[in-house]
Amino acid sequence: MRGQSKELKGDAPCHIGVDLLGSDTPPAELLEAILSFSQEKLDSSVHLTLLGTPSVFAGISSRPGVIFHTVENAITMEDAPLTAIRSKRNSSLCTGIALLKNGHLDAFISAGNTGALIACAKIELPEIPNVERPALLTLLPTKKNEIAVLDVGANTSYKASHLVQFAAMGVAYQKSRGVKVPKVGLLNIGAEAKKGTPELQEAYDLLLALSQAKDSPFFFAGNIEGRDVFHGEIDVLVTDGFTGNVFLKTAEGLAAVVIEELSQHGIAAEMRKRLDYAEYPGAVLCGIDGIVMKCHGTANPKSLTQSIIVASRLVHHHFLSEVKNELLYFDGKRS
């Protein structure tokens, strides 16, 4: 992921919106990090629209390629999502989604209230055909490559068809990263086809059949146990939102403890960098017709700037078209 901003050179202009409000990091700190990042590392084809209250931008001078878009207020972590998106129409979060909807933005990134962001995106943006349920996709560092894990979005029930659609969206995502034939695994409690819930068993059979077609855009690696994920032998890890959420937070929690200990021993900045989820780009909300990314509320500014790189790459690689295309295949309709 890192260091790939070069590939953006020569691309058509794209417009990325970034919500400066509603996270655990002070807006001024995010603003400073993003401005310095945009000046030093961002290709000129990427135009930024930063959303904040007037006070956030007070005393800040204008920059080429950066629009300061003032809004009224922020949706906080404590706000009830559905109430907030109705009562705070001029918040940074709702404004960002509105700008995406009317085409002023190509992608929108927020580290604010997750429930509000997903609800607002689902309500305001068009659905993608053949997706029953949007999913949050996040990149996970492993020994080898980075795996796309979805859904990590905490739905508490699921059907086999949801899992198959998650696979399609994960494949599209990895293709946008340059993986030609992504390897897809199902997160399960054993490798055998008959392991896990009836829904998992059905998804296994469906994915196996899809992957065996001559023109299959992916390879099905079967069931993957939690302990094998980190070997990095697959590109896409498919799971329901509850299990995926537990999986991701477990990995994050253990990594954080390890990093803390390593720091006490004054050890291994390189390893720390690889394990530090706080510096990883945010999750992509897949399955709605718009590129929306969600960073951790506790994420540091680096996570937001990494997300800008990911978002611009998704725009340049026509991620949404790729998703629609894959879904047609997974739905059996692609020629």
CA distance 9 to 108: 21
**334: Cβ contacts below 8 Å, ≥ 6 apart:** 325, 328
Does 197 participate in binding a copy of itself (rule CB under 8 A)?
A: yes
Is residue 246 within 8 Å of 151, Cβ to Cβ?
Answer: no
Pick 138 or 245: Cβ nearer a copy of itself: 245
3-state DSSP call for residue 306? helix
Pick 181 or 268: Cβ nearer a copy of itself: 268
- Quick note: the x/- pattern for a copy of itself over 222-241, rule CB under 8 A, is ---xxxxxxx---------x
Does 156 participate in binding a copy of itself (rule CB under 8 A)?
A: yes
Beta pairing partners, 42: none
CA distance 317 to 324: 13
CA distance 191 to 79: 42
| Beta strand spans in 192-249 (E) | 219-224, 236-238
Binders of a copy of itself among residues 270 to 329 (CB under 8 A) are: 271, 275
Does 246 participate in binding a copy of itself (rule CB under 8 A)?
A: yes
Give the nearest distance from C-beta 302 to a copy of itself in angstroms: 18
Does 49 participate in binding a copy of itself (rule CB under 8 A)?
A: no
- Quick note: the x/- pattern for a copy of itself over 74-113, rule CB under 8 A, is ----------------------------------------
Cis peptide, bond prior to residue 276, ω within 30 of zero: no
Pick 33 or 268: Cβ nearer a copy of itself: 268
Give the nearest distance from C-beta 136 to a copy of itself in angstroms: 12
Q: Is 206 exposed, middle or buried (0-12, 13-18, 19+ CB in 10 A)?
A: middle
CA distance 201 to 164: 12
Does 202 participate in binding a copy of itself (rule CB under 8 A)?
A: no
Pick 65 or 115: Cβ nearer a copy of itself: 115
Q: For residue 60, what are the CA distances in angstroms to 21, 67, 187?
A: 16, 11, 47
Give the nearest distance from C-beta 253 to a copy of itself in angstroms: 3
Among 39, 44, 250, 321, binds a copy of itself (CB under 8 A): 250
Residues that bind a copy of itself (CB under 8 A): 142-143, 154, 156-157, 187, 189-190, 196-197, 225-231, 241-243, 245-258, 260-262, 265, 267-268, 271, 275
